[in-house]
Structure 1
């Protein structure tokens, strides 16, 4: 046989309910503490952001001032130089243009960093202050709303407790009435059974005496049965009444139980989420987003401004040109670089002859001298060609050294988790001591050889120009027969190309000659 089911007592049920309610109440208290903690962390975060941008504004301002001092220091030196005495529209040399743009870029960065500091102090920090004030104010109101929600939830739990107690009370009364009713029914059955047995046990008597006794006994039994029936009816009515009350109390308890579970579910699933989203965090993330986007806008515009200045410098670097600078230099200082006026023949004591005299007896001497010049020029031509080839090869070597593309330092800015890799990359750059020492030694040695050869070419070129000039003047002064002899001998008096001055003919014609004759 199965053991009868064990039912929990009222005290056990109440104890379990109280324990569950205490756990919920403790959880609600921890929820408020958690929200308080989040509010404190939020306030601390906003305070740290304010302190950070306040300190960053100071650093940006100091950096701006240092840049301004740096630019003014060199701009003052630049203003005092002789080159700045020219007109504003005067073209400057390309290296000077790069230098000016570099100084202007420093001044531009100084202004930009001043602007950035001002944005930090007067725009971004006030935004964080406003967000902090709004968050604190909204959290207080949110806490009030949350406390009201918790109070309502606890009120529902207390109502459930009252309804449950009422249900237990009415159900206990119903059970008690049912027990009393069953007891009355048992008494009734017992009384009826006794009456039947007594009738069966009675012995036969005289007719008169027997009838009298039976009447009395029947009267007593009827009276007893009526009492029992009346008691049963009362208990039946009481049971019916208590049973109805118990059913109503149970229905009320079940309805309250469902409503309580729905309220608990709504609070934990919807109310808490809405409290955080629509009350505690109301406008916080949007305001923080605007403040940080202001920071991003300032930094990106600073970067754009810097890129614009660097683009101008890059354009100037691309336009570094030695030929154009040489032309500008000669135009700027034309009185210095323009050839002087020709030396005119100054007759002495009335001697008006201003041409070579090719008459006898100096005619043969001029022919001999012209032959010597021809021979000497041929030798000089061969020597100069060899030296010129050596000079050109050395010049190409120097140009290869100074034009090597070793300016890319992008590897130095490839950051990784290990700073050792960054340091090793930097140590292998252009300025590493072994590399730069070897490169400098090779460059200086090549330069020394180049200028030695260049000096030799210049000396020989000057001597060649003198001999060449003399060589082309002598045949012009000779008579026709001697010129025929020169042509017959095929003396190439123009084998060294144009006169040294003819390569600058355009410059002289455009720039120098008008100035010479105007003076």
Structure 2
């Protein structure tokens, strides 16, 4: 496929991915709008209920007063009659008169009952609706925070998928290019061999010498292109494996969010709403049933509606109302590059050991996470049950308010013992809110843990299937047949005796200038070792290594040796990480100059992270070129390491905690505690936005960090590839390169 066609195909793949991500992003926004609209509808409904019962309370109180006036009017009229005197004496009345007095007493009783009803509406039912409205708003805000966190995590997963997909496409394109160049070299070799087979008796000695020289040059070019092809092929395989693993984890995360997390978030928004509304309406029902039993037939309809307050069915109806917002999207499919027919994780021999180690690390990590998350789940369920017990307490029976007696106590004294007027209500409310806060904390912790388990489990299962298949079949070779093995190259550092600058506890700029090492060998070698064997290592840079091994590695580098040059992972990864931190911590002048400390700390006041990154870039561009190259190399590595935070538990913030005091120590005159948090935030920003902060190779020529490092030739510059015969001729005419030329 031609280059324009390949670029067109790449653009189509990226456009398809961006379109799918755009649809998911739109769904997330629509989901939040739906939940917010649902909460607004609830608040409006509760406000309408409050207004309704406030008006009804006024009507009931006015009715009660009118009944009282009516009874008092006729009672005053009858007090002067003989019948009334007889009534006061022995209460023996004629039946018509007795009925009359009973009727008046009934009016006074009804007046009292309606006053009681008005008071219940005003001081009990309305207050309940106000509390439900407050609770609903509070629940939505807390759920919204978790929702935004889940959305950020989901978009982070999608961005990670996009990054590894582009990395895979890039390395696969390089592999195809290297293969094409190798085939071209083979054709030149065959053509040259054909010429060499011609009769040589009539060729002059000088011409034969030139032919032999040309054959050697072509063979040399072929060997170099063979080595480059094998290296690029290995990078392509690793990048494809990482893409497939991330793809599996992304699909699992997206599926879990739409199938499980959305439902749980809606439950959080609904937490206590239905039960509290049930209590409020049952308070109203109790008052009405005790006031007038003749209205039972009409109230039964309302009771049936109250009995139907059930959060699960409401949630189902709610999600059915917005199918486009809550329907899970299609799974992400593997987008092959340039006709690559391999669509599964490949356990070939060069990466078999790495995949097996990663599988074992995932297995161990999952076992720990599942135990921890199960405990969190049990705590969450127990807390939820406590909250449900609080909001489902049956305190809506107001029948005591309608117990009549001959007492002349006021209406207020009659309802003084109701639920809402008890002194314990404030304490109960405080306990409920405290329990809610604990529940949401545990619920968030459980979601984060289960999300991590889902992603790691997806990778674990895919590796398990891949390694299981790999043990039953022969592993494919990554080197094309009939080609010589890839030559092994080892970097030979310049002897320490040839330069005087100190390595440890010295000045970085002086060392680079004196030694000729653009990236100090200790930095390059430690980062390469961690890249090969430690990206998934849990607690890298946080867990201390063996002090004995740290000293041995340090002393070897001091002598000019490279103890990490071989391809054997026989060194403790924590010790290697410790040596790297020890080197930067011991520099005479920190990589972030002390005179720039206050300027860098002031960047914290910039809330927009991208603008903050640009401001940091402006400050760092004033640093020496040699130091800037080393910083670019280091922070590109730290960013790559943070992409494995699901497995190594070292996200940008945790790495900033480890490297903040090392790279940017707080001056003695500053407050150590308050400044350290700002330092960590600055380092975290640089790790995340390192590409925007540091110049690229076009602006700052020098070595750059590569994500997929091979077992050898890791020091080759991206500009050292010899792709033409003329370049080979030029190389042959120059003197051999030393280790400083790398």
TM-score interval, normalised by the smaller of the two chains: 0.5 to 0.7
CA distance in 1 between counterparts of 2:230 and 2:37 reads 58
Query: Aligned match of 1:298 in 287, 293, 306?
Result: 287
CA distance in 1 between counterparts of 2:73 and 2:215 reads 130
Q: What is the SS of the residue equivalent to 1:268?
A: helix
CA separation of 1:63 and 1:81: change in aligned 2, threshold 3 A? same
Deviation at 1:182, TM superposition (A): 1.0
CA separation of 1:306 and 1:97: change in aligned 2, threshold 3 A? farther
CA distance in 1 between counterparts of 2:295 and 2:39 reads 40
Superposed counterparts of 1:406-485, under 5 Å:
none
Query: What is residue 107 of structure 1 aligned with on the other side?
Result: 108
Query: What is residue 257 of structure 2 aligned with on the other side?
Result: 267
Q: RCO higher in 1 or 2 (8 Å CA, sep ≥ 6)?
A: 1
Q: Note if contact 1:138-1:282 (Cα within 8 Å) is conserved in structure 2.
A: yes
- The TM-score, its normalising length taken from structure 2, stands at 0.37
Query: What is residue 239 of structure 2 aligned with on the other side?
Result: 249
Query: What is residue 68 of structure 1 aligned with on the other side?
Result: 68
CA distance in 2 between counterparts of 1:213 and 1:176 reads 37
CA distance in 1 between counterparts of 2:130 and 2:203 reads 110
Deviation at 1:13, TM superposition (A): 1.0
Q: Deviations over 1:79-112 (max 9, x none)?
A: 2221222254343222222222222222111110
Q: Note if contact 2:289-2:295 (Cα within 8 Å) is conserved in structure 1.
A: no
CA separation of 1:153 and 1:245: change in aligned 2, threshold 3 A? same
CA distance in 2 between counterparts of 1:106 and 1:305 reads 17
Query: What is residue 663 of structure 2 aligned with on the other side?
Result: none
CA distance in 1 between counterparts of 2:134 and 2:220 reads 79
**Would you say 1:136 and 2:137 are equivalent positions?**
yes
Root-mean-square deviation over aligned CA pairs? 2.3
Query: What is residue 117 of structure 1 aligned with on the other side?
Result: 118
CA distance in 2 between counterparts of 1:88 and 1:174 reads 117
Query: What is residue 26 of structure 2 aligned with on the other side?
Result: 26
Deviation at 1:305, TM superposition (A): 10
Query: Aligned match of 2:278 in 280, 289, 295?
Result: 289
Query: Aligned match of 1:232 in 222, 235, 254?
Result: 222
Deviation at 1:242, TM superposition (A): 0.3
Query: What is residue 56 of structure 1 aligned with on the other side?
Result: 56
Query: What is residue 575 of structure 2 aligned with on the other side?
Result: none
Q: What is the SS of the residue equivalent to 2:271?
A: coil
Q: Note if contact 1:57-1:117 (Cα within 8 Å) is conserved in structure 2.
A: yes
Segments of structure 1 that go 5 or more residues without pairing to the other structure are 1-5, 203-209, 308-519
Query: What is residue 152 of structure 2 aligned with on the other side?
Result: 151
Q: What is the SS of the residue equivalent to 2:93?
A: coil
CA distance in 2 between counterparts of 1:156 and 1:293 reads 47
Q: Note if contact 1:135-1:281 (Cα within 8 Å) is conserved in structure 2.
A: yes
CA distance in 2 between counterparts of 1:213 and 1:300 reads 123
Q: Note if contact 1:109-1:306 (Cα within 8 Å) is conserved in structure 2.
A: no
**Would you say 1:165 and 2:155 are equivalent positions?**
no
Q: What is the SS of the residue equivalent to 1:80?
A: coil
Deviation at 1:218, TM superposition (A): 5.3
Q: Note if contact 1:128-1:291 (Cα within 8 Å) is conserved in structure 2.
A: yes
Q: Note if contact 1:50-1:128 (Cα within 8 Å) is conserved in structure 2.
A: yes
- The TM-score, its normalising length taken from structure 1, stands at 0.53
Segments of structure 2 that go 5 or more residues without pairing to the other structure are 297-742
Q: Note if contact 2:171-2:232 (Cα within 8 Å) is conserved in structure 1.
A: yes
CA distance in 2 between counterparts of 1:52 and 1:164 reads 59
Count of residue correspondences: 290
CA distance in 2 between counterparts of 1:90 and 1:296 reads 37
Query: What is residue 320 of structure 2 aligned with on the other side?
Result: none
Q: What is the SS of the residue equivalent to 1:247?
A: helix
Deviation at 1:126, TM superposition (A): 1.0
Q: What is the SS of the residue equivalent to 1:252?
A: helix
Query: What is residue 450 of structure 2 aligned with on the other side?
Result: none
CA distance in 2 between counterparts of 1:306 and 1:157 reads 60
CA distance in 1 between counterparts of 2:175 and 2:226 reads 11
CA distance in 2 between counterparts of 1:193 and 1:301 reads 112
Q: Note if contact 2:188-2:218 (Cα within 8 Å) is conserved in structure 1.
A: yes
